[in-house]
Amino acid sequence: MKTNQIDIFSEEYPDSLRQIADPPRILYYRGEWNPEIFEQTISVVGSRKMTRYGRFMTESLVTEIAEAGITVLSGFMYGIDATSHKAAVDAEGKTIAVMPCGIERIHPLYQKGLYEEIIHGGGLILSEYEADSQPALWTYPRRNRIVVGLSPLLLVMEAGLKSGALMTARIARRYNKKIYALPGPLSSTVSLGCALLIKQGASIVTGSQDILLEYGLLPCEPKQNGTGKRKKMLSSLQKSIIEQLEREAMSVDEMTRVLGKSASQIGAELTLLTLQKRLSFQEGRYSLC
């Protein structure tokens, strides 16, 4: 696989990255360099120890964002990073992975398939490090300044109070980037960082429309491929809930009796579907939006 490079003096070097305090002099890359990929971007970061809720919401939001033509940037690590890249690829959108190691090293190696999918889908693999140099503790925060620098927006999906995602948000604040954070249950340690960001002034993301409107894009019906992929993301219980609500609005107790599941199981799924804007709740009953 061919490795290329572009230096800071090139006209095609991203302007947004050139403007940060310490831009990389050289960017090594794999894939086809097209300056248009940097025109509308969003950086997505979050916990490596993502929850089921974090995965679901990342897949949902990133799918719709990528379908709208916004390039998704992240750091390629397992968890929220990898989920973001994969959702963008599956939506036939563009994504850029910024590596904390040499451009010729796939890290982590077991994500080789995703690495190749990003390139074959028209995305890019970027690094400021040449050859196959190993990642180190200091290369991760250095990598994060590039992830943040390439976009005016940062979306934090899940973050602990001492997480790399929260450190990345601090970089974004220093660069005067707009920060969005996903609200989550305070009983979850990986939601506490997002709660702190919101308390400090970050915007709450309630759906993909928040991001689309930043670029003057109106929420619209997704492409047929994207619609099918989102349906596949639903669990069997979520599909059963939607099938029931296609007939009539129902309360939690009614769904519990009909579906033979506990109120806690039904309640958890209803919360996820409501946050995704699939359901609305009025007068004690849920219905489809």
Query: What's the rounded Cα separation, in Å, for the pair 26 and 244?
Result: 56
Q: Which of 156, 180, 214 is the last residue of a domain?
A: 214
How many structural domains does the chain have?
2
Instruction: Confirm whether 225 is domain-assigned.
Output: no
CA atoms within 13 A on the CB side of 45: 30
Query: Is 185 in the same domain as 252?
Result: no
How do residues 229-264 score in pLDDT, each as one tens digit?
A: 444 467 889 989 998 998 899 999 999 999 999 988
Query: What's the rounded Cα separation, in Å, for the pair 246 and 225?
Result: 22
The residue type found at 74 is S
Query: Is 207 in the same domain as 238?
Result: no
Instruction: Confirm whether 24 is domain-assigned.
Output: yes
CB 274 within 8 A of CB 281: yes
Query: Is 132 in the same domain as 241?
Result: no
Instruction: Confirm whether 246 is domain-assigned.
Output: yes
Instruction: Confirm whether 228 is domain-assigned.
Output: no
Query: Is 239 in the same domain as 207?
Result: no
How far apart, in Å, are the Cα atoms of 185 and each of 156, 166, 192, 260?
A: 15, 17, 8, 26
Query: What's the rounded Cα separation, in Å, for the pair 139 and 114?
Result: 21
How do residues 179-230 score in pLDDT, each as one tens digit?
A: 999 999 888 999 999 999 999 999 999 899 999 999 998 654 444 334 344 4
Instruction: Supply the CATH number for residue 9's domain.
Output: 3.40.50.450
pLDDT of residue 280: 86
Query: Is 249 in the same domain as 174?
Result: no
Q: Which domain holds residue 264?
A: 234-288
Query: Is 110 in the same domain as 171?
Result: yes
Task: Give the residue ranges of DSSP H helices in the chain.
Answer: 15-18, 52-67, 80-90, 112-120, 139-149, 164-174, 192-199, 208-214, 224-233, 236-245, 252-259, 263-275
Query: Is 179 in the same domain as 284?
Result: no
Query: Is 35 in the same domain as 80?
Result: yes
Q: pLDDT tens, position by position, for the chain (289 residues)?
A: 899 999 999 999 999 999 999 999 999 999 999 999 999 999 999 999 999 899 989 999 999 999 999 999 999 999 999 999 999 999 999 999 999 999 999 999 999 999 999 999 999 999 999 999 999 999 999 999 999 999 999 999 999 999 999 999 999 999 999 999 999 988 899 999 999 999 999 999 989 999 999 999 865 444 433 434 444 467 889 989 998 998 899 999 999 999 999 988 998 889 888 887 788 888 889 988 7
Of the candidates 121, 99, 42, the residue with the CA atom closest to the CA atom of residue 113? 121
Query: Is 249 in the same domain as 188?
Result: no
Instruction: Confirm whether 227 is domain-assigned.
Output: no
Query: Is 255 in the same domain as 115?
Result: no
pLDDT of residue 246: 86
Helix (H) or strand (E) holding 288, with range, is strand 285-288
Q: Which of 159, 183, 214 is the last residue of a domain?
A: 214
Q: Which of 214, 246, 261 is the last residue of a domain?
A: 214
Query: Is 37 in the same domain as 171?
Result: yes
Instruction: Confirm whether 152 is domain-assigned.
Output: yes
Query: What's the rounded Cα separation, in Å, for the pair 273 and 267?
Result: 10
Hey, how many other C-beta atoms are within 10 angstroms of the C-beta on 156? Answer: 27
Instruction: Supply the CATH number for residue 283's domain.
Output: 1.10.10.10
Instruction: Confirm whether 224 is domain-assigned.
Output: no
Cis omega before residue 35 (within 30°)?
Answer: no
pLDDT of residue 278: 85
Instruction: Confirm whether 222 is domain-assigned.
Output: no
Query: Is 108 in the same domain as 171?
Result: yes
The CA angle 233-222-65, to the nearest 5 degrees, is 75
